[in-house]
Structure 1
């Protein structure tokens, strides 16, 4: 099996390739809709994932950020910045989710 993504997203992409193609096209369109750099967009997506309380999305965006060369200190700062708007428990959870990704 040639898998490009782990978990449920990979399952969806394999089972419903046309849905995944449309979803990917939307992602490309919104990425190009403004002046944010690729790294800035990745950090925003990480922050939104933390705000949504989505462990899987935090894992995914952490994995991608690290692959794109974003330093761990920047990812940790995003978790710490969530203390104010989201509270200490959510920020601590986000920190542990980010730390889950070793590679």
Structure 2
């Protein structure tokens, strides 16, 4: 597999889900947040080769779910610590 993610790679992954499925960007492995997509823009580099840019819409939509960060290799799987029961009832 190429180290560059291509349009073909993206098409292959997207055709595995329904066409009405929402698409978001997961950005920043250190502080992962979900962002909406604004535009897909194609420009040519100095050698005339096209590159596709997926732009975000500026709308930070909340944290990326843990299963996404784990699947992306950004974080290790973790579980919330267990809290001991104190036996104190609310009054």
Higher radius of gyration, 1 or 2: 2
TM-score over 0.5 (shorter chain): no
Q: Which has the higher strand share?
A: 2
TM-score of the aligned structures, taking structure 1 as reference length:
0.28
Q: Which has the higher helix share?
A: 1
TM-score of the aligned structures, taking structure 2 as reference length:
0.30
